[in-house]
Structure 1
Amino acid sequence: MHSSSTQIERSLRDAALRVTAPRKAVLAAVHDHPHADTETLIAATRAQLSSVSHQAVYDVLRVLTDVGLVRRFQPAGSVARYEARVGDNHHHVVCRLCGAVGDVDCAVGESPCLTAADDAGFRIDEAEVVYWGLCPACQSPPGR
């Protein structure tokens, strides 16, 4: 999914952020590379804006996450990943062999999707579920 420069700028302004070249490049990279890790996003950002530093990308990712334009998630035993699909409470499926990640809509009902047997007094507004298994490519034996 490629978002236009105009859409990226509008998203930044709507979030009350100043439109800067690093913010535009990082947000575009997240849109273009769903579920990417930081290193992938740094490379994609540098392809558009060669002068951007690692630290600048980290800082922009933090700001974009804080204002809700980007979602950060970290499956157990994996590096943090980022996506531009925000505003819903979807979950992820992760391949145990190759690490491929996909989106999975809520299992049942409306957000937070799952009802805790005992909420311990918390007002729960989000449930994070990670489904683990083998992706279609890893299910096929080698040589087939």
Structure 2
Amino acid sequence: MSSTALLPHGMEAAELIRRAGLRVTEPRRAVVEALQVSPHASADAVFQIVALSVPQTSLQSVYNALGDFEDAGLVRRIEPAGRPGLFELRVDDNHHHVICTECGAIADVDCTVGEAPCLTPSDTHGFAVHAAEVTYWGTCPDCSSAAIAAASVNP
């Protein structure tokens, strides 16, 4: 359900890392490339992908890279209820997410009304609101189709 995250036109992973003010290493490059292939991935899932191309990389190196990237604004961490933290390259646009309650598939949902923060709280309690984070929960098309098919077989 998630689309491949694209780097800015013509930009390589190494250039993106350098522009964030970080030193380019093979594990860091591989982490960016893993998130391109698998947006909304947990650190463990990123590690599984990175280990294919850089087998000497440790899980701790992946966690370190993700932490450095988050601090530098290169990745966004989302924490859906009951799920591990997930990481994505799509940052700074205040988009939201829809998550399937059956299979866990995640898709991005663009802000649909006005400029960020998308939602206007009824009471800010004095806070200067900069962003809103919304998570929609539902059933993805694949799981909905499977449920309909199962119901037609077992009425």
Residue 5 (structure 1) shift = 9.9
Q: Which residue pairs with 1:28 in the alignment?
A: 33
Q: Deviations over 1:60-114 (max 9, x none)?
A: 1000111111111011111111111112000000001111100001131110100
Residue identity over aligned pairs, in percent, reads: 45
CA-atom RMSD in angstroms:
1.8
| Structure possessing the higher radius of gyration over alpha carbons | 2
Amino acid at match of 1:137: D
Q: Residue 121 in 1 paired to residue 121 in 2? A: no
Aligned residue type for 1:81 = L
Unaligned runs of 5+ in 1: none
Indicate which of 94, 97, 103 corresponds to 1:98: 103
Structure 1 consecutive aligned stretches of length 4 or more whose deviation exceeds 3 Å: 1-6
Cα shift readout 1:19-42 (whole Å, capped 9, x = no counterpart) = 111111111111111111121100
The letter of the residue matching 1:99 is G
Q: Which runs of 5+ in 2 are unaligned?
A: none
Q: Is the 8 A contact 1:5 1:24 kept in 2?
A: no
Distance 1:139 1:32 in 2: 25
Could you say which residue in structure 1 is the equivalent of 2:112? Answer: 107
Secondary structure of 2:12's counterpart equals: helix
TM-score normalised to structure 2 length: 0.87
Instruction: Choose the corresponding residue for 1:58, options 59, 63, 73.
Output: 63
